């Protein structure tokens, strides 16, 4: 992941925008900073079920912390993936399972501005990350 923003910076930057079109552009720009997965990593095993778009997730446990990489074939979903990674990447499994990502998306008012299928996809990403953390 190449996004160098932390969660507080994300929230602060997001609060600067009054217009949802500007917030969408910001989210899409975040997605452009993600390192894409290689074609060999875009496997059926790494595919997240429940997303409207194709979304792949890989992970590694390094020094007791989980490092995730997400990729998607849709720009907005890559951006939403970046938000999820900013909140959850490079943390211990117990920290990730304790994260209130739904609360974060409520705080950012994101779910209210996404289609139902995009919201379901976002929840599927979160569920998969928490599942991996619980098993690690």
Which residues fall within 8 angstroms of residue 7, CB to CB, at 6 or more apart?
Answer: 86, 87, 104
pLDDT tens-digit map of 58-97: 999 999 999 999 999 999 999 999 999 999 999 999 999 9
Catalytic site positions: 51
Query: What sign does the dihedral 15-18-21-25 (CA atoms) show?
Result: negative
71, β-bridge pairs: 56
In the chain, domain spans: 7-135
Report the sign of the C-alpha dihedral through residues 36, 32, 75, 9, in that order: positive
The CATH T-level fold of domain 7-135 is Sufe protein. Chain: A (3.90.1010)
Element at 110 (helix H, strand E): none
Give the predicted TM-score (pTM) of the model. 0.91
């Amino acid at each position: 992941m190449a996004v160098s923003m932390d969660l507080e910076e994300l929230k602060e930057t997001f609060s600067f925008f009054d217009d949802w079109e500007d917030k969408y552009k910001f989210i899409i720009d975040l997605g452009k900073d993600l390192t894409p997965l290689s074609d060999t990593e875009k496997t059926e095993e790494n595919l997240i079920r429940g997303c409207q778009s194709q979304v792949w997730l890989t992970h590694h446990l390094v020094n007791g912390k989980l490092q995730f990489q997400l990729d998607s074939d849709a720009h907005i979903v890559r951006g939403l993936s970046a938000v999820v990674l900013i909140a959850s990447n490079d943390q211990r499994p117990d920290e990730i399972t304790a994260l209130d990502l739904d609360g974060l998306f409520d705080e950012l008012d994101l779910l209210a501005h996404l289609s139902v299928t995009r919201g379901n996809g976002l929840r599927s990403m979160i569920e998969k990350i928490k599942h991996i953390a619980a098993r690690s």
